[in-house]
Chain A
Amino acid sequence: MIRWDWIPGNIGQLAAALADHVVLTGIAVSVGFALSLLLALIIYRRRALYPPIAGVAGILYTIPSLALFAFLVPFTGLSLLTAEIGLVSYTLLILIRNIMAGLDSVAPDIREAAEGMGYTPFQRLVRVELPLATPLIIAGLRIATVTTIGLVMVTALIGEGGLGQVMLRGFNFRNYAAVYAGAAVTVALAIVVDLLLTGLGRLATPWARARGGT
């Protein structure tokens, strides 16, 4: 039996959990993106490093989340740090792959024109290649963010978890209203963030919409 009246009385708790969830996700994606960008730029300079870096990121990605957290707890405890190490690890593969795909998608003639006209390598990267990689980078951010929103739930098991906490407690106390409410808010969060990122991508790439018309 589901006590739906639990929800109106606990909006505050849900909101706090949502805020928590957003912060956990935000930190993970921001740090993950910064790290991925750094690694992608290293790969950009030294292509030979792509397979090993992608390989490590791939191994991290395949470790089941529970196992990863369980492995980390003896070192970093039941802490935010533990949660974030895990969450960040999971964003790396997606983000590095997409940043590299974006940089590689720049047509050779554009690169050659930039070089021939006297862009320094750094100017070419920042003013030409990264802007042109934006659509694929945004696509990577969307996948990474939505994935992270889901994974944050799991961190409830090590004392974090945002909306995952609400659901976990719901399970423990057979309070299915809390379970459903937590799930619904999580899904809504994922959808809203995805739409926001899509919109951000469109704003950042006005040229991509300008086609054909005269």
Chain B
Amino acid sequence: MVWGTLFGAAWFLWIDYRVRMDFQALKWALPARIYARPVELYAGAHIGDEDLVDYLQRLGYRETSRVDGPGEYQLEQSLVRLRTRGFEFWDGHEPSVYAEVDFSGRHVLSLRGNQAGLDLPLLRLEPVEIAQINPETGEDRLPVSITDVPPELIKAIIAVEDQRFYTHYGVDPIGILRALVANVKEGSIVQGGSTLTQQLIKNLYLTQERTLRRKIEEALMAVALEFHFSKDEILTAYLNEVFLGQDGKRAIHGFALAAEHYFGRPLKELKLDELAMLAGLPRGASYYNPLRNPERAVERRNVVLASMLEQNYITADENAAARKAELQVTSRPVNRGAGYPAFMELVYSNLESDYAADALRTEGLRIFTTLDINMQSVIEAEFEKSVKAVERPSSTEGRLEGAMVITDASTGEVRAMAGSRQSGYTGFNRALHAERQIGSLIKPAVYLAALESPDFNLATVLSDRPIELKLDNGQLWEPHNYDDKMYGDVYLYDALERSMNLATVDLGMQLGVDKVTKMLTRLGHKKSVQPFPSVLLGAVNMTPIEVAQLYQTLASNGFRSPLRAVEAVTTAKGDPLAWYGIETEQVVDPASVYLLEYAMQGVFERGTGKTAVPRLERSMPLAGKTGTTNDMRDSWFAGFGDDLVGVVWLGYDDNRESGLTGATGALRVWTDMMALLDIQPRQTLPPADIMMDTVPLQAVRDPSERNCAVSESLPFQSDRMPDVAYSCEVNDSFFERIIDRFRSQGQ
């Protein structure tokens, strides 16, 4: 007997110790949450009303006829009224505000706050959550403190699960009796006898064991828990811990996440009927699942409401109104876990150097990325159609593949990405991993290296004639033009615009191939490239994102900013852990890049890209370059406007002929996408030492043969003007031009 008592006491002490320790150390493994870049609204912002409404719907905003609370919006012709929810960003708090946004076409015309007539200069919306990195347990939750839980929810839970919660000591004999009576009366289980504390214990020490010993142990644990912790602490743990549904591999725990999962809105915004529905779920999250079993869910909700009425937590009117409310669960598929796999792979690779995989899965980190969700949606919806439209009928298996990378033209932030022609494809990510020959996409690097040297300018005459080069291995290399024609004497800018191979080899051999490979490195290419002459025509393998880095440097006038997909990382509470700000380094002088851009704009105006002009008329001028590799295995286009850089690659995974040139394949896809994204025209201003001069349209080597009757004006660096003998400017002295230059600068 004594031994038995001693044993019982020791057992209880052990249980007491264990519960105390476990509960104190209670810490849930929280998935990392990944956010897209938030939309910023201001007068002039490049966004249309439809884009905004789409964005608000992704955030789970409700359309109403009158905007009262956070997370509501109203659309009236081109005017959107809304109240934001506010958000804890990594760089500060964004409060909840009311705003009226007026649109004109795809721009914000004005932005007003709630005081009449007062313009709101700027408004940052909440970011859309695009993915999660889930713990291995698959458990997901959004921990909340009890002060953030609507009192109606707590009342509903207490009414239906544990009416004597605030008075019992962990177990409730009266409650058990009541439940027994009620269940016998109904002939089925309508009430449970477990207290919330017992349910919490069951959830925390998840076992299937249903023995008497286990029951007693759970009861003792509940008593111990009550002994050491307050009712609020226990209730908070319950509200966050309880299992409320399954979403594929992901287990929905806690009421805050359940609110997002079933209603697409935060807990704070839910109304009585919705809260009552959630309160009914712990009894059987799958049985009462409102998405799958809406009738049962409504029935259960009404039971909860009846209990609340019985306890005088709500009035008869409130009860009646809530019972009438239609069940409105979210119908929009939530893009969690698998959202945007191509972009997410880049996010992982950006993060893996700083964070261990385990930290990403369990610490609830919040990761702010550079993804533009509206832009990405356009790509997801349209890229495949566009690729399909240029695909040549093929007699064999396999289909034309593609990849696209879009970056911000001045900061290097990656805005959108396609790793395959098929959206949401989780396999081989061609944007990051398909290493393909880049062909003529390399030419801007060749011409830029030349324009940097004092020996060359846009009017340097190159020879587009057959050339034979003896390579180091003794072989003879005889490059050809794509169309097998020869153009004879041509200007440097013309050779780039029309992508002449022979003239480019002539230029590259005068310059030295090593200058070109060094230029690739300066522009941001990280792998080393051997300086073989064939490099001049693009016999270099690169992935689309590597190409995007090179063209990003060109788009930002010779300033290289490493491409990146992550902007900042914070803890679950919002404390910043890491910032990845804009880095920028000047790698080429802006004057040389300006001259190169003149020719790259000419690609659209006069060269290989001119077929795109009619569809992008509003966006001109743009700059870019086509690329085609041997036997048309790869079709490339890389180009940029003032806001965006885009790179498109098309080809077959097995490297067979695609039948597409850069112009007939990738350029058309690029044009489709950029027209939809409304790419902005270039506004590059000439650097101070750029001057114009007029030269004959036809390049000649002998000045006496020059024909100034047909001439054109080209920009030059002031210390590298064309020889006066070739110039067609007669009435203007060199010094006058310099004076003019300063005059125009001063204006």
**Do A and B form a real pair?**
no
Enumerate chain A interface residues (CB-CB to B < 8 A): none
Enumerate chain B interface residues (CB-CB to A < 8 A): none
